[in-house]
Structure 1
Amino acid sequence: MEEPTLPTGRQRHYSSFFGAPVPDGLAVVVGNCQAESLRIVIDGPDLPTVRIPPVHELEPDDLPRLDRLLASASLVITQPIRDDYRGLPVGTRQLAARLPAEARLVVVPAVRHRSLHPAQVVVRHPDKPIEDPPLVAYHDLRTIAEALGHARPRLTAAVVAAIAQESTGELRMREERNGAVPISDVFDAPRFPLLRTINHPGNPVWSELARRVRDRAGLGDAVTDPGRELLSSVVAPREGVVIEAWGLDAEPDPHWYVDGRPVHDDEVRAAQLRWYSDNPDLLRLAADRHSSALAVVMSA
């Protein structure tokens, strides 16, 4: 007698995706790690959802399961995704083409903003997509400047404000280009609960975005309180110059928090300077990819 195949950890984590009954009136949320946070707060009695793998983890064998959900969906919420992303037909237009005629598609932006972490950037090497700097998966433009042989720049409140204005403009442009539900205006009044890192928004952002998605889809504005902080595994330091720039009632904190464990920013800086020395190609990529932002920081 053949032994039953036990589910893998991935299949257990995404059990609804891998075979649970599909609820009526389903909403499917597609995108990167941010999509799961939005799914959690938008889920409700009138809008059941199913947890699915982030789009960058989808595999060819997952496509029949994804199509099963799309066929039953009343609403698909997706970040802008290019056609044939990673060789799979999961682009925004490709998803829309596979929806039932009565289903709606709502586009939401991938949220990145530098108002509270102005020197922070993310870099992905095209040949080493999973290779991140040590301790935290974020680069600091000031540390990049140091690694290039310059004195470490010191930010001013005016530079922080200029970076925030540029970041809002970039997000607004992506919203308009993709016809996405706008969220850039919430960063007109920056405060730390809005952003844990430049690409990990806090609960207030997800609640507001969920309300706006529901409004665009013609649904009630009720959103779900997740009962916990979303995307909180990594929290960046709170800098005095940022507090000064926005007049925040907060105390500076030089620590990162990684899965709740404090890591002093000086430790991150030292580890990443060593890493740049050992990985000059990644240093050059980071400097080239963010050359305009680096120039602004170095002008402080």
Structure 2
Amino acid sequence: MTSDRQTTLQNLRRLLPASLIAGLVGGGLLALPAYVHTWCWSGIACYNHGLFDGIGTFQNLVLGILSLLLTGMLPVALSREGGMKRDFAVLAGGIAGFTAVMVNYLYSQATSVFGHGYAPELSDVLSAIIFPFANHALPFLALALAMAALAAIGAFVVSFFRERAAGPNEGAAASRLILCSTAAAILVVVVLPPLAAHAMLGAEMIDVNPGTALMTTAVSAERTAPGIIVITVEETPPASVLDPGKPFSVFMNGVDVSDASACAASGFSATVEPPGGLSPAKGAEAAWTGAGVSNNGTPVDVVVVARGADGSEIIVLSLRV
């Protein structure tokens, strides 16, 4: 065996463990966008689906690319061998990227089986993993190779700057700087878009769809005494979404008791405090007191309807109290 071949095999043996470890880390990073999307946008996507779904999709794409680049950088940046040839570095990055794709595939298929609410058999898990791969092997391999190529690009970048450095210590420092910068970029992509979206929503700089934004409204009702029912606003959309004249309509046993005037007009035997009824603010409360809300063995049917500025309506509470 020639010395060149021995050197090649030694390099491969040295790089393979680091590549596999980097692939495991990369598989976790590739699973991150799904959780990030839920964390960032699940609470506000309904305000403007077109805008926030588009931003979330672009965010996931950028996170996926950065995660693959970081995966490819890891085995090279963490290597103590400053004289690693660039072709071996690229190979290590590609192996790490391909491993990350496979790890992410196994994770996603396994979690899809366990997410059905029952303990699956081993055969169910194996079927979920094997059958999709067998039926779509070529497209999957093409996608995996493309993603591995992105990881190889990350390894190439680190290797390039490492070779250009004045010495081994400077090269290691440069590679770690690139690694940390990429990790910081991932953090920025995760945090900045939702922060900006929340700030713009608070400043009413984003057009909100009242019909869907009303779905974020949450209202609770409780009986604090035999003749008292208190309704509390737990969550509410931006004020611009709700009808400024009558944001909430309250019905008890089918009678409109939204405010003191409605109670008087319907002859419902109860007083409302405050007289204007339920305010469209988080934490706002209104209490109905009187014989009409007394529980004489039969609970009172309480229905609260939120009204949007565009005329839309949604029942946010239907409860027997």
Q: TM-score range by the shorter chain?
A: under 0.3
Q: Which has the larger radius of gyration?
A: 2
Higher helix fraction: Structure 1 or Structure 2? 2
